[in-house]
Structure 1
Amino acid sequence: MSFDLRFTKGHGTGNDFVLFADPDGATELTPTQIAAVCDRHFGVGADGFIRAVRSTNLSAGAATVAEDPDATWFMDYWNADGSASEMCGNGVRVFMRFLIDQGLVELGPGESIAIGTRAGIRRVSHSDQGFEVDMGVWRLAGGEPLVRAKGLPVARPGVGIDVGNPHVVVALADDDELAGLDLGYLPILDPAPDAGANVEFVVPAEPLVEAGVGRIRMRVHERGSGETLSCGTGAVASALAVRYWAGAGAPDVWRVQVPGGIVGVRMFDGPDGEHVALSGPAELVFDGVLALA
């Protein structure tokens, strides 16, 4: 038996998503169906799949409402292969644009709202340039796994960064090394994290800091999705890693260039530790209806 999925296609700096509104939590797709929707040849095509559900209508949302009663909407996020994920930085911004477009929330310039995710509450602010997401407290995940990637002649050490989902960031020497990677293949981590990780490869700009802003370029292989044009949490992790390597005096504001555009990252003190925020555009591209088995 088939049903019609009414969806919206959106993206944040080329990181693209299929979104649909299911306020009552009545339409739960299977991982196979999600992978079919995200397939770029036989489906709509996307890096991820997002269901908008009222937090009280989803078991995973109950904890976020308990943490913050204002988190009335939950971003039910899935990778392109149908696996569930904690959250997505670009996805949160596109999710916010979608909620506003659907008339589900109102958020004027300068206002903010709490959004529930599997990684906890994420507060989103609206600006004329797009949206900024407070990604919460970050942490070093520990260890320096060796990273092997197709096109990289020698394995390089990475640093583990946790921003609600796991990342390993690798520094490269120059743009030629960055361009020479074939991230259609899964990078190999040794030791391999139990839950996998997104893997970012970064090159510092020359100069690294300009007008008080750090500048880096990045490519990413996302866990469950492959190489994407942008990864919001990956941009955050990359800026944090480069600041960590740079040491004392490194800036707290960063400009991260990804294949799909540019996003901003800033670090700031919170009552529970240092927070990190991601800012950038969010666009909705088209609406459609897809018949699903």
Structure 2
Amino acid sequence: MSTSESPFAAIADTAFFKGHGTQNDFVLLSDDDSALEMHPETVALLADRRTGLGGDGIIRIVRSAASGIPGALEQAEAGAEWFMDYYNNDGSLSEMCGNGVRVFAHALVETGRVPADAGEIRVGTRDGIKVVRTTLNPALGVQTGDGVASGRTGPGSAADAWYTVDMGRWALDDGDAVLVTTSGIEVARPGLNVDTGNPHTVVALAEVGELEAAELRDAPVLDPVPAHGANVEYIVMEPARSDVSGGEGALRMRVFERGVGETRSCGTGACAAAIAAHHWAGPQSPLQWRVDVPGGQLRIGITPDEDGTHGNVTLSGPAVLVAAGTIS
């Protein structure tokens, strides 16, 4: 097949990387000076696990100032040289991806686009600038000689690179509950709407058995249907841990992502899940949460405003690059 006949002709000869954050996986395309035209059909084919490279999403690495994306030039002027142009598995645009922004930042470091010793990386997104910092892997992390947290532990262990992302503002809607009907769960359950840059609906389940029974091959049905759709998180809260100052909440989560289906992890969803769990457990409940997802473990830090319905949130977790090549 000639290049002109290839379904990827529009992005031929583009360098790519494959990476994941807690097994939420992405194909990253190098397009520093914004030469590519990103067609939804091409993106969906590339993300397909049979027709393309496969991934939960596609990320274009592009300079903010060159991207032509609304608001990106202002973000460049505010210090975000690089923009994470994120697409869902089906080719649709998404505002933000918490796991994706960590993988994006890791790719910037690994490819030399930002210095390896950068104290912070400012990343442009459609949900505003996200500040990313290297942090400790809670299981294996060590302190460097200058006291700066290093996400790498042991010789060459890039898989242990952890990053903390300031995810910015969140808001919850504690009005009328959304009813969520899910295959494998007999009765529709109420959900809490949480905005963490992406729209989410969080559903609390009573036990792990219910969490495992949910059939997430089928899209959950929400009533009323949110205007822009929503990712749906199913959580089971676990006993709080005492090995973190002030205590640490713990929960298990599965997620159905709009435009994708069930994924092994969702960063903005983990934030929404922890925020909902804290809200349901009350203002005296932990502000630090461990979220166990099928693909690994994430850490969430919540800073609520006085009214408890808004605040700031941080997301910490690993980022890994597993392959690199060129689109043919």
Distance 1:66 1:235 in 2: 26
Distance 2:116 2:129 in 1: 17
Distance 2:299 2:77 in 1: 26
Q: Which residue of 2 aligns with 1:131?
A: 163
Does the 8 A contact of 1:61 with 1:116 survive in 2?
A: no
* TM-fit CA distance, 1:208: 3.3
Distance 1:38 1:200 in 2: 22
Distance 1:63 1:42 in 2: 32
SS in 2 for 1:176: helix
Alpha-carbon distance change, 171 to 92 in structure 1, aligned in 2, over 3 angstroms: same
Q: Which residue of 2 aligns with 1:284?
A: 321
1:182 and 2:215 matched: yes
Does the 8 A contact of 1:89 with 1:231 survive in 2?
A: yes
Distance 1:219 1:101 in 2: 30
Q: Which residue of 2 aligns with 1:202?
A: 235
SS in 1 for 2:313: strand
Q: Which residue of 2 aligns with 1:215?
A: 250
Distance 1:76 1:180 in 2: 35
Q: Which residue of 2 aligns with 1:19?
A: 28
SS in 1 for 2:177: coil
Letter in 2 for 1:112: E
Which runs of 5 or more residues in structure 1 are unaligned?
Answer: none
Residue deviations 1:148-172, cap 9 Å, x none? 1110100000000001110000000
Distance 1:33 1:50 in 2: 13
Alpha-carbon distance change, 124 to 64 in structure 1, aligned in 2, over 3 angstroms: farther
* TM-fit CA distance, 1:275: 1.1
Question: TM-score of the superposition, structure 1-length normalised?
Answer: 0.94
Q: What's the Cα RMSD here?
A: 1.6
Q: Which residue of 1 aligns with 2:144?
A: none
1:169 and 2:175 matched: no
List aligned pairs for 1:140-155, cutoff 5 A.
140-141=172-173, 142-155=175-188
* TM-fit CA distance, 1:4: 2.7
SS in 1 for 2:69: helix
1:54 pairs with one of 42, 48, 63? 63
Larger Rg belongs to: 2
Letter in 2 for 1:72: E
Alpha-carbon distance change, 288 to 268 in structure 1, aligned in 2, over 3 angstroms: same
Q: Which residue of 2 aligns with 1:117?
A: 125
1:239 and 2:274 matched: yes
Residue deviations 1:46-84, cap 9 Å, x none? 000000111111222644635852111100000000000
Between 114-123 and 3-12, report the one with greater CA deviation. 3-12
Does the 8 A contact of 1:268 with 1:276 survive in 2?
A: yes
Alpha-carbon distance change, 180 to 231 in structure 1, aligned in 2, over 3 angstroms: same
* TM-fit CA distance, 1:268: 3.0
Which structure's residues are more often strand, by fraction? 1
Which runs of 5 or more residues in structure 2 are unaligned?
Answer: 136-149, 152-161
